[in-house]
Amino acid sequence: MEISSIHPQKFLDLLNEQELKDSVIIDVRELHEWEYYHLDEAKLIPMQQIPPRIGELPEDQDIYLVCAHGVRSYRVAEYLQENGIERVINVDGGMAAIAMLRGFQYD
């Protein structure tokens, strides 16, 4: 199954227009990355914690996945789909792209 993805600008537009209220945003980075810069709307579940915490994820909502650059979140999206959670969307470019679009220096 192909992994859905979204351009970071489109993601921010949806977020700003409050069109993601019925969705879940999961940040799969580590705590120290999260503390540096994160989206207030996101929930932190580091990549390595996804398998034991998979039960916390809804199967009936879109789940947007974000990491630093979009690589870890893509892998998590693959894992989730392989384990029956299909409504996953990877945010291309991750927090680096989001930060750049918001005018924040991240890296």
- In terms of Cα–Cα distance, which of 32, 68, 65 is closest to 50? 65
**Domains of the chain, CATH where assigned:** 4-101 (3.40.250.10)
- pLDDT tens string 25-74: 999 999 999 999 999 999 999 999 999 999 999 999 999 999 999 999 99
- Count of C-beta atoms within a 10 Å radius of residue 27: 26
Q: Is 90 exposed, middle or buried (0-12, 13-18, 19+ CB in 10 A)?
A: buried
**Beta-sheet strands, E only, within the chain:** 4-6, 24-27, 43-44, 63-66, 88-91
* pTM, full prediction: 0.94
The secondary structure of 37-55 as a DSSP string is S--TT-EE--GGGHHHHGG
- pLDDT tens string 6-24: 999 999 999 999 999 999 9
As a whole number of angstroms, the distance between CA 2 and CA 18 comes to 26
Res. 105: pLDDT tops 70: no
